[in-house]
């Protein structure tokens, strides 16, 4: 690649006129009365209420009681209120309206287990399973405003569970299926959950992974009235606690297959998705019934061009935002959710491509991490499968590098199917930036800002930056998908997102634009660690290390990784009573894996003499990261022990690192 191409990548794909004409985005722009995408962005910035009102009209979202006012920013854009006076439920729009319109026989879910076993549910079957479980939850006294944890692999029943919790007005707390017990316990305790749904065990790479015992351990020390509902997925023997544990099949037995959906305030909490910041406990982002629904219509319908009858394969987990996007987005738009147990490259290295073929996927979601991992296999693993049914591919999780982007575009998309780069986050309920079928493609670029959010790239004073300048990605407008604060922590919400540059939402990503207005994301501007698209705060892992009682201090940082985007590195100060040893490294490794899950296993655990600190004794993680990577340390005016930097470097760059 030439220097010119590095600075200004060439356009490698342009939209087909027929695809543009048939797109949802073109239809919406005609409804609104604008000529092109840039005009739509300007209209949304100028008239927020009209833009979102038009999108509600376009989507046909149903309310039990229409709202009196769409948005109220009287308390500031940080605390925007939406759908004031409106009532309804997201399940009215995901299931009920499709059944009433005669679409119950259409396919809602297509699933494949790791052994190759297939199951499929129609919309009528999904609605029936949802109603039976919802009735069972109500029989346990669970109702509007009660939180319910969801700790399950991606099987058909997890869709029914998500819908059932929402249907009765309770609050979904999705939990990553690879979490250890401490991470689950923290989230259940913070949300004051009344129940957790789990499974006995699931398959992963040919091995049976027991989930119920992990959930049991998480429940230790939590209120005794918290119920544990267990799906018999594998038949694997599991421990049982009488009076607390319930088999799913017993709970739903003989229950009616219809149940009235509970109507709640349109902006009532639907879901708490926990995301990790740089300090403190995980942050509970609050998503609402119609806020989440409208954001999904915007992203999936306008950006992804997803239509009724389309089929989306996106191998993810319910604990990350993509899981709820897949489940709720597909059903809102009357498409088919394509699910698979296990991983994209087992039992065949090209399993994900075979699934796309066999499932007849029209839309395929991918993370750059997965693409980089699959690149290592022979190209025959892609070429042996027929992917001609794909209309759109979508990527999210972390920034691409040029080689992996081109590999995917050349070999999976065949340079014909658009690869839409999608960047946002849990806190915004979806995307901030995304390509569309109307935008040309450049490697690694995002087509533009998603309308209605006021996305911009700014300096540290909030001034817009020109092409080629890297700055903070911010939002200048509220949106329905934005979290309604943080669960029970108003002050932390403001501190985390609104106080760095007053009046602007600072997302925590570095970004830039090019001369054609295309955007690029360059990674996190804060300390949050993102491993293969999964986010965790360094403080959470540091707590797991220190709670072993084997260390004096610990600093955890994310460092670049060619496959996963970032990897975890732990810089530790040992106690005199527990000097560095292989046994100590193993104990610390096990503590992290048990607490956070194997995805966050440290790349390295290194022992240093001291850690850099500010005058108020806050550990300077950015300095630890710079010392490890060899980058410039930046401003050191606040450091109280600058000699610690040389001590770290001596360890980090020693030819044979000590244990």
Q: What is the pLDDT of residues 41-61, one digit of tens each?
A: 999 999 999 999 999 999 999
In a domain? residue 517: no
The answer to whether the beta carbons of residues 178 and 209 sit under 8 Å apart is: no
| pLDDT greater than 80 at residue 614 | no
341-396: per-residue pLDDT in tens? 999 999 999 999 999 999 999 999 998 888 888 988 889 999 999 999 999 999 99
Give the range among 51-65, 170-184, 388-402, 518-532 with minimum mean pLDDT. 518-532
- Residue 405 pLDDT > 60, yes or no? yes
pLDDT value of residue 355: 98
Contact criterion met (CB below 8 Å) for 445 and 311: no
> Domain with 86 in it: what CATH number?
3.40.50.12780
- CA separation for the pair 366, 353 (Å, rounded): 11
493 part of a folded domain: no
For residues 166 and 19, membership in a common domain is answered with yes
User: Over the stretch 154-169, which tens digit does the pLDDT of each residue have?
Assistant: 999 999 999 999 999 9
Weakest-pLDDT range from 110-114, 315-319, 371-375, 624-628: 371-375
Q: Which residues contact 210 (CB under 8 A, 6 or more apart)?
A: 200, 201, 236, 238
Residues 6+ apart with CB under 8 A from 595: 180, 181, 182, 183, 540, 541, 544
- Position 655 scores a pLDDT of 43
Evaluate if residue 4 carries a pLDDT over 70.
no
Q: Which of 456, 486, 521 is the last residue of a domain?
A: 456
Phi, psi at 278, each rounded to 5°: -90, -20
How many domains in the chain?
2
Condensed to tens digits (0 to 9), the pLDDT of residues 491-514 reads: 999 999 999 999 999 999 889 999
Domain assignment present for residue 521? The answer is no
Mean pLDDT for 10-15 is 94
Do 548 and 408 lie in one domain? The reply is no
pLDDT at 1: 37
Residue 6 has pLDDT above 70, yes or no: no
- What pLDDT, on a 0 to 100 scale, did the predictor assign at position 342? 94
Burial group, residue 272, by CB count within 10 angstroms (0-12, 13-18, 19+): buried
Query: Residues 290-314: what's their mean pLDDT?
Result: 98
What CATH number is associated with residue 602?
3.30.300.30
Name the average pLDDT for the chain.
Answer: 93
Considering the domain architecture, whether residues 434 and 535 belong to the same structural domain is answered as: no
pLDDT score of 224:
83
Question: How far is the C-alpha of 581 from the C-alpha of 48, rounded, in Å?
Answer: 59
Which residue, 397, 432, 456, sits at the end of a domain? Answer: 456
Question: pLDDT of 454-465, one tens digit each?
Answer: 999 999 899 999
Query: For residue 473, is pLDDT > 60?
Result: yes
Range of the domain at 611: 529-652
């Amino acid at each position: 690649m030439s220097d010119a191409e590095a600075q200004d990548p060439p356009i490698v794909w342009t939209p087909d006129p027929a695809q543009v004409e048939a797109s949802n985005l073109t239809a919406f722009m005609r409804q609104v009365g604008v000529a092109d995408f840039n005009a739509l962005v300007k209209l949304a910035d100028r008239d927020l209420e009209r833009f979102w009102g038009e999108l509600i009209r376009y989507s046909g979202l149903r309310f039990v009681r229409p709202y009196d006012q769409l948005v109220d920013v009287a308390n500031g854009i940080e605390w925007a209120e939406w759908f004031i006076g409106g009532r309804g439920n997201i399940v009215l729009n995901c299931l009920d309206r499709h059944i009433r319109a005669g679409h119950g026989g259409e396919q809602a879910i297509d699933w494949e287990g790791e052994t190759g076993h297939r199951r499929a549910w129609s919309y009528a079957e999904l609605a029936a399973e949802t109603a039976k479980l919802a009735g069972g939850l109500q029989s346990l006294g669970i109702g509007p405003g009660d939180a319910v944890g969801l700790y399950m692999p991606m099987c058909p029943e997890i869709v029914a569970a998500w819908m059932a919790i929402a249907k009765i007005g309770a609050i979904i707390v999705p939990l990553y299926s690879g979490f250890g017990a401490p991470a689950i316990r923290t989230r259940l305790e913070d949300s004051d959950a009344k129940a957790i749904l789990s499974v006995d065990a699931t398959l992963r790479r040919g091995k049976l992974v027991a989930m119920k015992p992990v959930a049991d351990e998480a429940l230790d020390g939590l209120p005794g009235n918290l119920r544990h509902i267990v799906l018999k997925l594998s038949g694997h023997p599991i421990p049982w606690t009488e009076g607390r544990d319930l088999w799913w099949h017993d709970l739903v037995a003989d229950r009616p297959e219809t149940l009235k959906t509970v109507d709640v305030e349109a902006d009532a909490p639907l879901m708490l998705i926990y995301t990790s910041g740089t300090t403190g406990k995980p942050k509970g982002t609050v998503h609402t019934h119609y806020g989440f629904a409208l954001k999904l219509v915007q992203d999936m319908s306008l950006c992804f061009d997803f239509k009724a009858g389309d089929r989306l394969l996106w191998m993810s987990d319910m604990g990350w935002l993509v899981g709820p996007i897949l489940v709720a987005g597909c059903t809102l738009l009357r498409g088919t959710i394509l699910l698979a147990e296990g991983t994209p490259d087992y039992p065949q290295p090209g399993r994900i491509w075979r699934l796309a073929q066999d499932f007849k996927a029209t839309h395929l979601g991918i993370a750059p991490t997965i693409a980089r991992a699959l690149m290592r296999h022979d190209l025959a693993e892609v070429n042996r499968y027929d992917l001609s049914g794909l209309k759109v591919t979508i990527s999210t999780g972390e920034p691409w590098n040029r080689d992996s982007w081109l590999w995917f575009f050349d070999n999976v998309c065949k340079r014909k199917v658009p690869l839409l780069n999608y960047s946002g986050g849990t806190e915004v309920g979806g995307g901030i930036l995304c390509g569309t079928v109307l935008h040309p493609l450049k490697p690694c670029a995002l087509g533009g800002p998603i309308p209605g959010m006021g996305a911009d790239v700014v300096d540290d004073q909030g001034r817009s930056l020109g092409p080629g300048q890297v700055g903070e990605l911010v939002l200048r407008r509220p949106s329905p998908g934005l979290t309604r604060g943080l669960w029970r922590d108003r002050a932390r919400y403001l501190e985390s997102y609104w106080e760095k540059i007053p009046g602007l939402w600072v997302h925590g990503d570095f970004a830039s634009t090019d001369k054609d207005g295309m955007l690029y994301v360059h990674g996190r501007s804060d300390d949050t660690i993102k491993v293969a698209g999964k986010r965790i705060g360094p403080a959470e892992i540091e707590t797991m290390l220190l709670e072993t009682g084997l260390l004096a201090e610990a600093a955890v940082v994310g460092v670049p990784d060619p496959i996963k985007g970032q990897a975890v590195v732990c810089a530790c100060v040992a106690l005199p009573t527990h000097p560095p040893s292989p046994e100590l490294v193993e104990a610390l490794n096990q503590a992290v894996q048990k607490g956070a899950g194997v995805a966050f296993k440290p790349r390295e655990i290194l022992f240093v003499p001291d850690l850099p600190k500010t005058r108020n004794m806050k550990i300077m993680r950015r300095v630890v990261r710079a010392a490890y990577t060899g980058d410039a340390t930046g401003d050191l005016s606040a450091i109280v022990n600058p000699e610690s930097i040389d001590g770290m470097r001596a360890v980090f760059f020693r030819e044979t690192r000590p244990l």
